[in-house]
Amino acid sequence: MSTFSAFVRALGANTAKLRNRVSFSDRLTIVLGNESADLDSMASSISLAYLLSHGSSNSTIIPVINVSKQDLALRPDCALLVCQTLEASGGAIDDLAFIDDFDMLAYTDVDVWLVDHNSPGSRQTVLEPLVCGIIDHHFDEGKCTDAKVRQIEVVGSCCTLVAQRFRDQGIPVDSALAKLMLAPILIDTSNLSLLAQRATDKDAACVAWLASQVSWTSKPATDDCDGDAGDLLPAAALDVSGPSELYAVLDKLKGMVAHLSAYDLLRKDYKQWQIADFSGALWTVGISSISYPLKKWLKRDGYGDIEQAVGDWMELQGLDLAIVMTRGKAKAECRVKTFGRQLVVAFSARISPAKQQQVLDGLRASDILGLKDYAVDSASSGSPQAAHFFTQSQTSSSRKQVFPVVKSVIEGS
């Protein structure tokens, strides 16, 4: 595969091979992002698939987006960037494979690369023996140890690791591909902000390298994304003059969640695991990450409705423990808007009160979280399955840091 544009133009036909599995004879390799399918996952999977196709003549390499296609509407930042990238390269969003396009779990004869995660999701564990490569920046879950490539490095964005491979292998990156990899690095590091403590030197070096390959426009910035949050913006919204403006447009889009139902908020950026406790009992644990501060959510829906929505979500997913991470800027007492993080923790009735208490104590004791009881200004329902509301003092700890804490607390309970 010569250019990125040639790769994109062949994507529709290659994706069709997955969808109609009877009509192909060549080997297939799928490059799968994580089940939260954020910008980093989508961009890593498309760009790594292109990179791998560069050196491969005997396998068809196909990126697969790890959510249903309809869920793209929940991610206007991803929809805009991915659509623009494909269209700028002669393709279309319909060329891209989503997991509801085909029965991925029925495939036993494909090679799988995992990007932006290092262990198949708890509902995709049958893929484990098929995994031949991993490129990721999360806590190493110690799975798929036979994979030929297993690069798990703490950097701000998985796209940094993919972009480094292009640079190291001397594979040219055109403007559309450079922008596709650049955007998640900016989003994941809050535009390389020191305050956010996410960017490493490698992220900064990749931002500089990728930014130099993008054809930026010189037109003045417009404020196109004030429209209805549900609408997809014209691709021209990403014709920007530089990385900071690209970050601003996408960050604003990503933050447009206030119109979503509680159900959509809970499922938009969601990951699920199975964790064995001290007695060997398996817990199904789900963590939703929501870019909406708890204060605003409570004001909108109230404690009762939030508890109800989390309870319904647990029921639907069969969860033993649900954790909802909220974040964003809200006015504090001093009337200054400050960034904060909060946690909502809820257990299923299957978990004994003693175990619930053990896990709550374990979470409260974690320095990585720094939990304090959330200042309650109206009573929660007080029922035995009531959700627990916390303020997370360690505002730099995202799900990447919170999940290992939850895992070790359950393993010790």
* Contact footprint for Mn ion (CB under 5 A): 40, 116, 158
For Mn ion, the closer CB: 158 or 344:
158
Half-sphere exposure of 120 (CA within 13 A, CB side): 20
For Mn ion, the closer CB: 71 or 116:
116
For Mn ion, the closer CB: 207 or 310:
207
β-pairing, 149-152 vs 270-276, is unpaired
Q: How far is the CB of 151 from Mn ion (least distance, A)?
A: 13
- The amino acid occupying position 198 is R
Q: How far is the CB of 217 from Mn ion (least distance, A)?
A: 28
Q: How far is the CB of 42 from Mn ion (least distance, A)?
A: 10
Starting at the edge strand that comes first in sequence, how are the strands of the sheet with 131-136 ordered?
A: 97-98, 59-65, 27-32, 111-115, 131-136, 149-152
For Mn ion, the closer CB: 40 or 307:
40
Asked whether the beta carbons of 58 and 238 are under 8 A apart, the reply is no
CA distance linking residue 280 with residue 287, whole number of Å: 21
- Give one DSSP letter per residue of 326-385, joined into a string: EEEEEE-TTS-EEEEEEEEEEE-TTS-HHHHHHHHHHHHT-TTT-EEE---SS-----TT
Q: How far is the CB of 263 from Mn ion (least distance, A)?
A: 24
- Give one DSSP letter per residue of 259-281, joined into a string: TS-HHHHHHHTEEEEEEE-TTS-
CA distance linking residue 259 with residue 33, whole number of Å: 26
For Mn ion, the closer CB: 35 or 116:
116
Q: How far is the CB of 288 from Mn ion (least distance, A)?
A: 16
- The amino acid occupying position 110 is V
For Mn ion, the closer CB: 190 or 217:
190
For Mn ion, the closer CB: 18 or 158:
158
Asked whether the beta carbons of 290 and 324 are under 8 A apart, the reply is yes
Residue nearest to Mn ion (CB): 40
Asked whether the beta carbons of 371 and 407 are under 8 A apart, the reply is no
Q: How far is the CB of 311 from Mn ion (least distance, A)?
A: 29
CA distance linking residue 273 with residue 138, whole number of Å: 14
Q: Which residues contact residue 73 at a Cβ distance below 8 angstroms, ignoring those fewer than 6 apart?
A: 79, 230
For Mn ion, the closer CB: 254 or 296:
254
Q: How far is the CB of 90 from Mn ion (least distance, A)?
A: 27
Q: How far is the CB of 72 from Mn ion (least distance, A)?
A: 17
Q: How far is the CB of 116 from Mn ion (least distance, A)?
A: 4
Of 39, 51, 41, which Cα lies nearest the Cα of 2?
51
For Mn ion, the closer CB: 118 or 391:
118
- Give one DSSP letter per residue of 44-86, joined into a string: HHHHHHHHHHHT-SSEEEEEEESS-GGGGGG-HHHHHHHHHHH
Q: How far is the CB of 157 from Mn ion (least distance, A)?
A: 6
For Mn ion, the closer CB: 158 or 345:
158
